[in-house]
Structure 1
Amino acid sequence: MVKVKHFIVMGFLAFFLVGFQSQALASQPESSYWYPEGLLDWSPENDPDAAFNRSTIPLATRDVHYSTNETQQDDARLVALSALNPNTSGVPSQGDREFFANTFSYWQYVDLMVYWAGSAGEGIITPPSGDVIDASHKNGVSILGNVFFPPKVYGGKDEWVDQMLAQEEDGSFPAADKLLEVAEYYGFDGWFINQETEGGTHETAQKMQDFLVYLQENKPEDMEIMWYDSMIKDGSIKWQNYLTDQNTMFFQEGNETVSDSMFLNFWWWNASQKSSYDKALELGRNPYDLYAGIDVEANGTETYVEWDNLFPNGEAPYASLGIYRPDWAFKSTDTMQDFYNREHEFWVGEAKDPSNTSENPDNWKGMAHYFNEKTAIDTLPFVTHFTTGSGEFFSIDGTVKSDKSWNNRSLQDILPTWRWITESDGESLAVDFDWEDAFYGGSSLKIFGELSKKNATHVKLYKTNLPVDKDTELSITYKTPSKKSNLKVGLSFHDAPDDFTFLDVKKKSNGKWATDEIKLKKFKGKSIAAISLYAESDAVIEDYQLNIGELKVTNKESKKDKPEKPSNFVIDDLSFKDGIYADIRLRWDANENQNGTYEIYRNLGKGKKEFLGSTPNNVFYVSQLKRDGKEDTGTIEIVWVNENHERSKKGTEASFDWPDYPAPTAGFSVSKTIAAPGEGITFFNQSSEVTESVQWTFEGASPSVSEEENPVVTYENEGTYSVKLVASNSEGEDVLVKDQYITISEDAKNITNVALNKQATASGQCAATESPAYALDGIVTGNSKWCAIGSASWMIVDLGEAYQLSEFVLKHAEAGGEPAAFNTRMYTIEVSNDLDEWVEVTKVTDNTQAVSSHSIPLTQARYVRLSIQQPTQGGDQATRMYEFEVYGF
């Protein structure tokens, strides 16, 4: 069937529609975020995303066992307040298709992680995303959600504080009960309470204390509630920076614990934390329940810290350490390698050797200088593929099964404890992660450099506490182009953790992945304290490189527990886009008897499979699954992988029917709708993806017809001309005609941005320095933007007189240096000559770009109205428009 669509332009009253096709899809599950009323209304039963946000990995036990250098200590602890996702809203529950993600990996130095998120424009109560909980728990680190009452200058409201502190007649706090319910259901370990909204009174402070005590009385014993040093006993916001009589009521009241810990504000450079230490003892509390904060968000390793005020020379620390925004290492870089290099320096120091932190600069010796590495590797099996939690591909058993980028921190392995301790009598080999080769996942470990007898290198990797039985064995999967492995595996034991026994890796690689198994029976009864690698060669190998794809310590007996086939696999929700893309929510019964993960595949027939993802959860979301040709049925398969990394022999399948294969939908845009005679104009085919051929007809142009995707044409004579596009495939064709669409005029040479520095009014603004005038000043740097809160914001530009308009250019949040998640998603542009009658000329429903351009047929108007329907890609309600340009003459 042929469809013909006409767009007609009559004088200056033009009607023109530019935009993106709407998507009605099974929505992407997202991590939760709420305002107080939303929290109170939440339940797992009414939240379709709830199951996707649960952690299935229990909190591992861990211990220090022994120190790496002489300055490390056990008393003080470390909490990190880290923005592990770039924004509060729009966070995918199980990762997404971006390789560059904040795959934080220095868990060995962190005792407590706070999931830093929340804003007045998105939501102020944020549990950690499920993948972050999984990674944290795998490494034995407790993780807290965040309750953030913002300062009023950042949108804080008294009503949010009042709603959270509302108390029933029976003495209960419904919001506190919900916080406990959320933490228990999602599987994380408590809450960080940050009250910075001004205007409180003594009564507010008392209510807050009652709220905290109620949490203590009703929470599980191992749940942590951390308070931020902000509000004082009269209800005002006055950061104390120490534990004082002004803030103790939120920490300890007589014999009653009010909060399990307190994060002390950053400004303690003038005096030591000895007073906080003494005050805690006076209250009968452990001084190390206090975390003295440092703010590294802006300067990272260049942050000035009076370390002696916390860690006095030759004495026990006065308090624990709190680090605000160590995600600086991620935010200040734009490649994974740079991120890991910067994070390495942050946590280990400039010398990048945790055993020798004294060589680091005095002001930043790294956290390894002060804190022991803790390990959660204390039970068998232990398996690692050195997967960092993201990749540019996904390999399974050494074969790339997906070439799509991904991140999912649920899949992050326990990574090496020491980064890096390399011992050599000569020049030691280098060690790093390799994101270009992997045995499983998206990365491996690589050892590289010039190898010789003199440069033989001992690489210490893991601190462990693994029992050895008669059937315990170690296996290593590696790859090297060298003729020999030139490799030994080192083991030390807890009776002498510095003494290593080296075991030969005998199986040859020949440039392919090879697995060698080493029986450990002769060490029966011992406990492995460390695992290392040792590379040596009698002959010089100038460009030696060895990749380790898997390191595994298992008990042979445990291999008898064969992985079970998943059961009750169903497609929960399914929707289609354009007849060739499917978004699918999957669910199956969790395996309660074994730990492990599920791999999800798409079966293509004839034994071919496409890897879609992996999760330890029993739900999974498949995004934009593309139809295989014109297939009628799609089949999804899940396979169980147990903790020994063995797969079930058979998977479980579920199938769905695709809709009828669609005929195309014609669509196109143009580089400009007005041009001078002889000036080239480029047309862009934007027909639906199923289009197999196109045919253009250009009235008055040269060429007048074309079958190219994006033809360039010229017009010799002034006038107004129509354009026709026919899009065809085997199922039919669609015809789109835009009448009076192209204007050819000598006046085209006079087109400029006629909105520059013109007057504008708006529905509102976030601050005096974020009025609509800042979107018309020609500047996108220095935070020069119009900001407004709400999903129905608008601005009207008065051009001063009527102009012939041809194009609009919008520069969104990303153009100004903010995250792409804040780019405006839905908006309309209208024009008028009298502020009474408005004509819509542009409508956009799914923008993701930093800069969007919209050409329209030549239209006369004095006023332009930009209306925002969805200000960001997610739930953030703040419009951020860095520049709104209107072109005409």
Structure 2
Amino acid sequence: MRRINLLLFGCCLIPSTLMAQELKSNYIQWGFESQQFPGKLQSWSKSNPKINDDDNFFISRVKPKQRFRYEGTQVRTDLTDTNDKKLLAWLPWNVPSKNALPDGVFDSEVFSMWPYVTHWGDWNCGLGRIPAALLDAAHKNGVPVSSVAGIPYGGLSGAWSSALEQLASTDVQKAAAYMNYFGYDGLGYNSEYSEYFGAGRVTRKLRDFHVNLNKAIRPTNPIYENIWYDGTNDKGRISFDHGLNETNKSIFGAKDQEAANLFFNYNWNSSTLLQNTVEMAEEIERNPLDIYAGINMQGGEPRTGSRWTLLKNYPISIGLWGAHSQNMFFESRGEKGSDPETQQRTYMLRTERWFSSGSRNPVNSLQINNSLNYNADNTDFAGMSAMMTARSSMSWDLTQEPLITYFNLGNGKFFNYGGVRKNDRPWANVGVQDYLPTWRWWFASKLLGRTAADVPATGLDAEFVWDDAYMGGSTVRVHGSTSKEYLHLFKTKYALKTGDVITFRYKVKGGKADASLVFATEDNVNAEKAYPVLASTDEADEDKWVEKTITVGGDLNGKTLALVALKMENAADLNLYLGEFSIVRGSFDAPAQPIDVKTTLLHAAKNGVDAKIIFNMPNTKGQGEPCYNTDVKTSLFKLWAKQEGKDPILMGVTTSWAGMFYSVPVDLKGQGKVKFGVSAVSLDMKKESAIAWGEDHEIFNSYEYSDEIKADKSVIKPNEAFTIAYVDPRHEAGNWKIEHNGATVASSNNANEIKVENGLSQTGFYDLVLTGAVNENGARVNKEVRYANYIQITSDAVGAVPHINKLTANNSESSIEVVANSEVTMKYEGKKADGSGSRGIKTLEKPVGVKVSELGFNSTSKNNMAWSLAFWVKFNGFTGGTQIVDMRDPGTGWPQNNWGTMWTTYDPNTGVYEVTLREKNAGGAKEYKQRWKVDFVPGAWTHFVLAMEGNGTTTKPMVYINGKAAKAHNWEYDGHKGDGINPDGFANNAWWDNNVLGISLGRAGAAAINGTVDDVKFFNKALTAAEAAHTMMSTDANEAGLKAYWDFESDADASHYFASKVGTAKLAHGELKAGEGEGVTTLVPDVPTYDAGSAFVSGTFQVKTTAEWTAKKATIVSQDGTDMAGTAKLKYAKAGDYEVTLTLKNAHGSDTRTFQVIKVKADPTGINGTEAADMKVYAIDRDVLFDVETPGNYLVQVFSTNGQMVASKAVSVNGAESVRLHLGAQGVYVVNVKKDGKTLRTVKFICK
């Protein structure tokens, strides 16, 4: 029997307790800075191509694919090679410290809209060094990638002048060889400098270098492209916004003298400028589509006038910029919440709406407007698809390389291979991203339907999901109902031949449909060739990947495949997951075993170990020549880890000849050695080399202890037993004390936990005092740490977290056997959990705010008046920095709509709460920062007071937690800093009359609160510690200075505002709706979600426990239950082994337990029923055992969940006999037993 307790109670002390282990600065060395590249290049040679030991993380192993044009599968057939815009994404990737290097953080950037990008300029990637993972993903899609010289604005510094001159003096053959060897596709320049000395000599020399470099490299890399920001002309002077003219045309280059394609600054939006540019380009015999009209996504530029409505009329391409460290799609992806999967989904919506269209279907021809919005609800944006076609690279010789895609984005919360879960560690590696649907998502009621009329008003939808995968950690989900609809998947150009094997793999999670793979060929692209793959009569099985294969015959032989689509008919509540699409010609050899394996153990901690592996592949390439994976018969590499005495674990895959391991699970009480290995997988993914292992590493020689502690209950009742313990099983013992009002009420010395067997009798707050080893300045030191108010004892009357004491099936707590269609009675016993108390509202990571104008603030007193905001808050958890209280006008301009009058942020990694007051100046303004050490315990109620001690001229903040002054940490202001409280105030001149005083406002880089708030009060005075302690427990509306009070006991009005019990101010829960301009939003009230409020405030909110039963493939006949007890009656129609999961939950939390296992036998009255009843199939560790009593000829076959047979045994039985099959790997398997050719039983089990 398995049990899960949802425990939110606990205090996190170090970053690893809040997030996955991740890429650190010492893991992979870049080798040089941007300005150092010319020197490195000049000393580089093909005979000695090494920069440093980590080169393989920066060498592309995927040769750039070539894109093709074919009008027959375009959405917009009016776009030709003369007006089909290109798009330069001159954008940062991910975050600067990581870029596209493999990481252990699931919520990393995995851009996927490659069909609408023709060049990616990695803005936060220094000149001459690019992560291989980004290169490999882009190269698969035919997209070049360049690095950027981040030259500062203004006069060209001596250092940069020397660097650029050194680069321009480099032998172009050497430079071309370097770029080819590493797989780099261009050089980019943030050229907004002036050569005040030299009259442009360096710039012109660099221009000539670009001309010659293009000539040297394009024969081997035709997608190579240099990019020049059109801020510096050929005279070496800053010159913006003049279009292509006499002073910059040589920087651009005439025909056969191409140097660098231009990225226009943001004031290009003049018809005269654009027309003159087109004419000048034609005059020098260049394609004006090689010029990019710049869009500043951060600053919303061009700020005035027409943008898209003007640009669409000219054959000039699109250039996106913004901003310096993160692109705007990724930076503010937290707009819908801070949960990692929510952020990934938001990022996906932002990019899909921006590139394919606001509807995410390019066929829905939305009117082109001048919006520069990029938020997740950007539904009325025409998208880049309105001005450019979706490009495809899916055209190559299938004898050299098959087409295989598993619809994997390149990140995940787990890692699957072959449909089997291999580990549950988060990861990100965009280099292993698969080929993804070309147009994203082209749905239509007819094949190649190109108009909005062809799109059903209500029909199917598609999205990426991260809860299942055939390979990797994500896949495509198609869902909905329709009578007939096509999803156009891939634009291709493959010459098919008889014998080619096309494989389509899927999983039906629910619903039904008749589905066919549809192919269209260039000889008659409008004629569909349909091959059924799913029937509406097929039973949905959420655990089974179904494989369908089509062997190319005469109808497709010799034809050029132009389109792959999925046709769905009679779909009803369909929930279809895609697992694979492939075209394989013949067979492919197994690759050689990797060589020169070098491994490094980087980090060891409670969550696992981090490591890296670097290797080579045997090959015949010359020194310094590029060697691609196809040259060594390899599609990708598997990354393995093995602890001494344990089986190998598949941790992931990579296309690079180097890989990263994060949070490799190890037995912390097991053997102390671990090793890492790599194997190469064939091009058709069917063969594999032997694993090449690195050396053994000692796990615990440099183990980093986690000092995190956690309680076993989130809500504790009087006299109820509870335990608080170190989370790290290797942690040193400590001395534990629980204090109440200064008196010790429980203790435990030299222990890893404190157990309070008889509980604590009094309700209220208790301190935990722990003396033991902690991490401090890189060393383990003995220290006393006080967790103020860590333990809360709440009355029985307000309810408790439910608890399942017992769960049975047919009165048994262990496995049972039943006959199909017989009734199974599930029962549970719980504990008292229902109650009633105060009512609060859930924040749902959205703001709770009030206009300051309604609170007595005005443009005279501004924020320098005295005031206090007090409220109860319960945090469900933290994903990073979280905003608590802010004051700003979200509708004013950037960046003040993000900063405002004040903002406050809690960092759960350090336990520091910071209040920032900022002058109004847009740039270079002084900031006043005051910090406190605070332990916000997730799952526990905290009373919070922010008091502003204003005197009309200056102000300074004070914080009270649970009625006590918070521990002042340190402060900073105007170049000064100190410990404790800043003795001086701050003259805060930052004021907007439309300011909102908000709880959980959130902003760029900081999450809103995931939790519940209750009893919000506003005072026109700065509360003292005594007053903070009083108001914490008070419901008196007549407290001194109280000007507004919202207790949420009365419902919000029709406009969703809560009336104050004092005064007229109105408060609302709402959403920040995006407006025009960077960061511009409006607080729009929405319907509040009520929740149990503070356990220390009275009220009438009812806490009621509900029971939720999850029983796959069972019919729940009836169910009922309370917090104390309940039942459910189930029936299973088919034989098999099943689990049943019960969750009891209420407003305080939940408890989950799973019953294992209900063995359902075939009905003995049916065919072979007697034989089925006389046999058993079960697993012990990695052995499958089959016990039989009835004589006969039996065949036992074991399959993986993807349908591959992994073991088989035939046996002739004369009497009682036992058959054993051994399996080599852990995972989920299906056993099929046949007697005399007829199936007796099919059993699914987990092999551990």
**TM-score normalized by the length of structure 1:** 0.71
The aligned amino acid for 1:209 is: R
1:367 aligns with 2:394: no
Deviations 1:711-738 (A, max 9, x none): 9999xxxxxx99774679xxxxx99365
Shift of residue 105 of structure 1?
1.5
Instruction: Output the amino acid matched with 1:137.
Output: H
Q: Kindly indicate whether the alpha-carbon contact (under 8 Å) linking 1:228 and 1:265 is maintained by their aligned counterparts in 2.
A: yes
Structure-2 residue corresponding to 1:633: 673
CA gap 1:357/1:634 in 2 versus in 1, 3 angstroms: same
1:212 aligns with 2:202: no
Unaligned runs of 5+ in 1: 1-17, 119-123, 671-681, 715-720, 729-733, 743-755, 757-765, 803-813, 822-889
Q: Secondary structure at the match of 1:339?
A: helix
Q: Report SS of the residue matched to 1:61.
A: coil
Q: Are residues 769 and 372 of structure 1, via their aligned partners in 2, closer, same or farther at CA, if it must alter by over 3 Å?
A: closer
Is the 8 Å Cα contact of residues 191 and 224 (structure 1) preserved in structure 2? yes
Count of residues in Structure 1 that have an aligned counterpart in Structure 2? 724
1:585 aligned onto 2:585: no
Match of 1:563 among 571, 575, 590: 590
The residue that corresponds to 2:568 in the other structure is: 535
- Distance in 2, matches of 1:102 and 1:405, equals 13
How has the CA–CA distance of structure 1 residues 643 and 26 changed in structure 2, closer, same or farther, with 3 Å as cutoff? same
Q: Which residue of 2 aligns with 1:295?
A: 296
The reply on whether 1:487 has 2:529 as its aligned counterpart is: no
- Give the distance between the partners of 1:695 and 1:664, measured in 2 at CA: 20
User: For the Cα contact (< 8 Å) 1:30–1:90, is it kept in 2?
Assistant: no
Tell me which of 126, 134, 137 is aligned to 2:136. 134
Q: Which has the larger radius of gyration?
A: 2
Provide closer, same or farther for how the CA distance between residues 332 and 600 of structure 1 changes in structure 2, counting only shifts above 3 A: same
Aligned match of 2:584: 554
| Equivalent pair of 1:434/1:443 in contact (CA under 8 Å) | yes
Report the Cα distance in structure 2 between the residues aligned to 1:475 and 1:126, rounded to whole angstroms: 40
Q: 1:278 to 1:441 in 2, by over 3 A?
A: same
Matched, 1:221 2:226: no
**Counterparts of residues 15-164 of structure 1 (less than 5 Å):** 27-29=26-28, 31=30, 34-37=33-36, 40-41=39-40, 45-66=50-71, 67-76=74-83, 77-91=85-99, 93-94=101-102, 96-117=103-124, 125=127, 127-151=129-153, 158-164=157-163
Q: TM-score scaled to structure 2, two decimals?
A: 0.52
Structure 1 213/704 Cα, relative in aligned 2: closer, same or farther at 3 Å?
A: same
Tell me which moved more, 297-306 or 701-710: 297-306
Q: Is contact 1:582–1:623 with CA below 8 Å preserved after alignment?
A: yes
* Structure 2 equivalent of residue 340 of structure 1: 348
Contact kept, 8 Å, 1:667 with 1:685, in 2: the verdict is: no
Q: How far does the alpha carbon of each residue in 1:290-320 deviate from its partner, in whole angstroms, 9 at most, with x for none?
A: 22222233559999743454333xxxx3323
Partner SS for 2:564? strand
Offset of 1:402 from its aligned partner?
A: 1.9
Residues 1:378 and 2:395 aligned together: yes
Call closer, same or farther: CA 1:530–1:324 in 2, change over 3 Å. Answer: same
Alignment map for 1:134-533 (pairs within 5 Å)? 134-151=136-153, 158-167=157-166, 172-173=169-170, 183-197=179-193, 199-201=194-196, 203-218=198-213, 220-222=216-218, 223-252=224-253, 257=257, 259-272=259-272, 273-298=274-299, 305-307=306-308, 309-312=310-313, 317-325=314-322, 327-334=327-334, 335-357=343-365, 364-379=381-396, 380=398, 381-424=402-445, 427-451=458-482, 455-481=483-509, 486-505=514-533, 510-511=540-541, 512-522=544-554, 523-533=556-566
Residue among 567, 571, 574 paired with 1:544:
574
Check whether the contact 2:708–2:728 (CA below 8 A) recurs between aligned residues: no
Distance 1:336 1:80 in 2: 23
**Paired residues of 1:722 and 1:738 also in contact (CA < 8 A):** no
1:640-668 alpha-carbon deviations (Å, 9 max, x no partner): 22222224164333451426689998979
Match of 2:1225 in 1: none
Residues 155-183 of structure 1, C-alpha deviations (whole Å, 9 max, x = no match): x8613332223359xx8259x89976763
Task: Quote how far apart the aligned CAs of 1:57 are.
Answer: 0.7
Tell me, what secondary structure is at the counterpart of 2:617?
coil
CA distance in structure 2 between the aligned counterparts of 1:311 and 1:570, rounded to whole angstroms = 53
* Residues 521-568 of structure 1 deviation map (CA, whole Å, 9 limit, x = unaligned): 12111111100111123xxx642211111011111x2x2x23235232
Matched residue of 2:228: which SS? Answer: strand
C-alpha separation in 1, matches of 2:163 and 2:413: 43
CA contact (8 A) 2:269 2:310 kept: yes
- Asked if 1:702 corresponds to 2:744, the answer is yes
Deviations 1:401-425 (A, max 9, x none): 1212221110111111122222238
Provide the secondary structure at the position in 2 that maps to 1:498: strand
| TM-fit CA distance, 1:605 | 7.8
Could you say if the C-alpha distance between residues 514 and 84 of structure 1 is closer, same or farther in structure 2, counting changes exceeding 3 Å? farther
Give the AA of the match of 2:523. Answer: D
Paired AA for residue 52 in structure 1: F
Say if 1:358 and 1:83 are closer, same or farther in 2 by CA, change over 3 A: closer
CA contact (8 A) 2:132 2:656 kept: no
Amino acid aligned to 1:705: S
Letter in 2 for 1:112: H
Name the amino acid aligned to 2:426. Answer: S
Alpha-carbon distance, 1:487 to partner: 1.4
The structural deviation recorded for 1:237 is 1.7
Return the alpha-carbon distance in structure 1 between the equivalents of residues 755 and 88 of structure 2.
Answer: 55
- 1-structure distance, mates of 2:655, 2:412: 18
Choose which of 758, 769, 780 in structure 1 pairs with 2:924.
769
Does 2:736 correspond to 1:736?
no
Instruction: Using the TM superposition, give the Cα deviation of residue 370 of structure 1 relative to its aligned residue in structure 2, in angstroms.
Output: 1.8
Q: Residue 602 of structure 1 aligns to which amino acid in structure 2?
A: A
1:115-152 Cα offsets, whole Å, 9 max, x none, are 1226xxxxx63643221111110001111111121225
SS at match of 1:769: coil
Give distance in 2, aligned partners of 1:689 and 1:773: 42
- Secondary structure in 2 matching 1:81: strand
Q: Which amino acid aligns with 2:69?
A: V
CA distance in 2, matches of 1:319, 1:801: 59
Matches of 2:140 and 2:367 in 1, distance apart?
A: 32
Structure 1 pair 816–45 and aligned structure 2 pair: CA distance change class (3 A): farther
Q: SS of the residue aligned with 1:257?
A: coil
3-state SS of paired residue (1:116): strand
Distance in 2, Cα, partners of 1:770 & 1:618: 47
Secondary structure of the equivalent of 1:292?
strand
Kindly, what percent of the aligned residue pairs are identical?
20
Q: Any unmatched runs of 5+ in structure 2?
A: 1-12, 17-21, 219-223, 335-342, 372-380, 447-455, 619-630, 711-721, 761-766, 775-779, 789-902, 904-920, 932-954, 959-970, 985-999, 1008-1248
Return the offset for 1:83: 2.9
Whichever residue aligns with residue 79 of structure 1, its letter is L
| Paired amino acid for 1:47 | N
Higher normalized contact order (CA 8 Å, seq sep 6+, divided by chain length): 1
Deviations 1:233-288 (A, max 9, x none): 553322124112232242237x8726231112221223241100111223333322
CA distance in 2, matches of 1:296, 1:378: 33
Q: Is this contact kept in 2: 1:422–1:457, CA < 8 A?
A: yes
2:660 aligned with 1:621: yes
Name the SS for the 1:203 alignment partner. coil
> How has the CA–CA distance of structure 1 residues 38 and 738 changed in structure 2, closer, same or farther, with 3 Å as cutoff?
farther
Distance 1:274 1:52 in 2: 44
Structure 1, 270-279 or 40-49: larger mean CA deviation? 40-49
